[in-house]
Chains A and B, each alone.
Chain A
Amino acid sequence: MMAFKRILAILIKEAQDIRSNSNLLVMYLMPILFTYIWENFIPDMPAGFGAAFGLIFLVVMVGMYVPSMLIAEEKEKNTIEVLMLSPARPVEIFVGKGLLTFITIIIISLIINIMVGLSFNIQLIIIIATALTSLFAIFVGMIVGMISPNQMSTGVVGLPIYLLLLLIPQLSGIGISGVDFIARFLPTYYYLNILELTLIDRVAISDLYIHFSIIAFSSFVIFALLLYIYRQKGLLD
Chain B
Amino acid sequence: MLIKVDNLKKSFGKRTALNGVSFKVEAGQIYGLLGPNGAGKTTTIKILTGQRRADSGQALLFGEKVFGRQEELLKKVGIVPEDANLYERLTIEQNLTFFKRLYQCSDELIDFYLEKVNLIDEKKTKVKSLSKGMKQKVLLVRALIHKPEILILDEPTSGLDPASADSLHKILLDLKEDGITILLTSHNMEEVDKLCDRVGFLHQGELVASGRPVDLKLNYSDNRVKVLYYSNEAVEENLVKKTLQLDDPETGKFIAELIQNGRIKSIHSLEPTLADIFVKLTGRNLADDGF
Contacts and interface: CB of A to CB of B under 8 A. Distances in A.
**Max chain A Cβ within 10 angstroms of own Cβ: one of B77, B83, B86, B87:** B87
Contacts of A3: 104
B98 interface: yes
Nearest to A79: B85
B291 interface: no
Contacts of A6: 101-102, 104
B5 to A, nearest CB: 18
Interface residues of B, number: 25
A236 B81 CA distance: 14
B88 interface: yes
Contacts of A20: 89
Interface residues of A, number: 25
Nearest to B74: A85
A214 to B, nearest CB: 36
A86 B74 contact: yes
Interface in B31-86: 49, 51-52, 70-72, 74-75, 77, 79, 81, 83, 85-86
B98 A85 contact: no
A85 B104 contact: no
Interface stretch (A10-18, A43-51, A190-198): A10-18
A88 interface: yes
A211 interface: no
A236 B71 CA distance: 16
B53 to A, nearest CB: 10
B51 A83 contact: no
Contacts of B112: none
Contacts of B85: 77-79, 81-82
Interface of A: 3, 5-6, 8-10, 12-13, 16-17, 20-21, 77-79, 81-89, 236
Which 4 A-B pairs give the minimum distances between C-beta atoms? Answer: A9-B101, A78-B85, A86-B102, A13-B98
12 contacts: A12-B98, A12-B101, A16-B89, A20-B89, A21-B89, A78-B81, A78-B85, A82-B85, A83-B102, A84-B70, A85-B77, A87-B72
